[in-house]
Structures are given as C-alpha cells and as structure tokens.
Amino acid sequence: MNIDNATTFSYPLIIREHHLDTFGHVNNATYLSILEEARWELITQNGYGLSYIRETGLGPTILEINIKFIKELRLREEIIIESKMISYEGKVGKIVQTMLRNRDVCCIAEFTVGLFSVKERKLVLPTPEWLKAIGL
C-alpha cells in the first residue's frame, strides 16, 4: 500500500502530576498510556471512535511495540506527540509515534498494528474507513 502521502497527526499534551513516578519524571509504563491516548485521539477525530468500533465490531489491536526513551519528561513540560503510519502490508501496519519537547526528540515508539474483528477473533484486511482513520 502506498503510504507516501500519509498524514502526520500532532497531539499536544502537558505533563501532569499523575504522569510522574517517584523519580519526578514520566514512568516507562506511562509513556505507553500517553501514546495510546494520542492514537485514540487520532482515530476518533477521523470518525473511528469507540462507538463506531462497538457498532462494527472492528477495532485496532497492537501486535508489537518497540520504544526508545531518549530524554526524560518532567512536570508541566509541554510536548507534542506526532503519529504517522509508515507502512501497511496486507493485514499489518506500522505506526511511528514521536514525543517532542520543543524540537528535542524525547521518545520514539514503533507499533505494529492491525484491524481486529471481535466476531471472528482475528485480524482482517483494513477497511476504507480504517485507512481514513489512520491517515492513509
């Protein structure tokens, strides 16, 4: 699938008290929650929110995660999470999410994803609605 014209979705966020661990910075597990929040916002804004998923029985699933923590994030820092599909072959796609503080890259995560049928209990080929939701 041609992804040369994939859209980059930007999600601004301020690091809040509940994001911090005892070291005063964002904990590794919290990074995953923040990245998931940005992915949900991406698909929801593109018409593929939770109500649509419940209606169709088709929703996103994560198959693999590769994450690099580069710079720590601290309280009240403003960040932007950029999300972009980098490939989609058959039933499996890859999305890269980058956390930026100003222009500094703080975290890069690559997720292998698919569209999951709750009824069939398996991955299915991406629908046009799903492709639109993920910026393709």
What pLDDT was estimated at residue 66? Answer: 98
- Kindly report the CATH class assigned to 9-133: alpha beta
The total of other beta-carbon atoms located within 10 Å of residue 127's CB is: 13
Residue bearing the bigger pLDDT, 4 or 62: 62
Is the confidence at residue 45, as pLDDT, over 90? yes
Is the confidence at residue 2, as pLDDT, over 80? no
What pLDDT was estimated at residue 1? Answer: 73
pTM over 0.85: yes
CA 42 remoteness from chain centre: 8
Residue from 63, 132, 77, 131 nearest 107 by CA: 77
The total of other beta-carbon atoms located within 10 Å of residue 46's CB is: 17
The domain spans of the chain are: 9-133
